[in-house]
Amino acid sequence: MLQLGVPPLELVLRTAVVYVLFLGGLRLFGKREVGQFTLFDLALLLLAANALQPAMTGPDNSLPGAAIILATIFSLNRGVAELRERSSLARRILESSPTIIGRDGRWLPEVVEREGLDDNDLAAALREHALDRVEEIRLAVLEEDGTISIVPSDSGAAGEARLRRRRRTRRFR
């Protein structure tokens, strides 16, 4: 239990390789927020984590080995966060850019499909912005963090009515 079954450096290297592969997979996975994960997305992440664990530990199942792996994961994560803050190249590699998914009262079907959004996602975004129909949007953007921002197309009386609805909705939360 306290005896390492693998040299510490091997544990660090195994963990670093798995971390980089997993981070790359998540980057390719898409722009969903954790709160937007479907049951299938969550199952995928849990199964992937379970499948990758032996690749990190190898034959080691000791407590010091677990401590080394955890320290490596947290250190790598902190290092990636620092790198992202300091380097625009790293930020471009690690983060998605905003994507226009709707314009002038219509969704862009090829972009919506490429981003893995469905009708439920789009309807929820309209409701969140107090809109009834897609025809009411001027611009819809899938942001870096997976949220959908919408700029309404109209102003004047209809826009004021929507603003009143939005204020009323926020007051009851």
- Given a cut of 90, is residue 15 above it in pLDDT? yes
Total count of domains within the chain = 2
CATH number at residue 157: 3.30.240.20
pLDDT in tens, 88-112: 999 888 887 889 999 999 999 999 9
* 89 shares a domain with 39: yes
* 89 shares a domain with 167: no
The answer to the question of residue 158 being in a domain is yes
The answer to the question of residue 2 being in a domain is no
The better pLDDT of the pair 156, 76 is held by 76
* 130 shares a domain with 161: yes
% of the chain surpassing 70 pLDDT: 84
pLDDT in tens, 46-64: 888 888 889 998 888 899 9
At residue 144 the predicted structure's pLDDT band, cuts being 50, 70 and 90, is confident
* 81 shares a domain with 103: no
* 157 shares a domain with 122: yes
Sign of the C-alpha dihedral computed for residues 48, 91, 143 and 116 taken in this order: negative
Boundary (domain end) residue, out of 94, 116, 143: 94
Q: How far apart are CA 157 and CA 87, in angstroms?
A: 46
Boundary (domain end) residue, out of 94, 124, 141: 94
- Structure pTM? 0.64
pLDDT (0 to 100) of residue 45: 81
Boundary (domain end) residue, out of 70, 94, 118: 94
* 89 shares a domain with 23: yes
Residue 154's domain comprises: 99-171
Phi (first) and psi of residue 141, to 5 degrees:
-130, 130
Q: What is the DSSP string of 65-87?
A: HHHHHHHHHHHHHHHHHHHHHH-
The answer to the question of residue 1 being in a domain is no
For the chain, the average pLDDT equals 84
* 110 shares a domain with 90: no
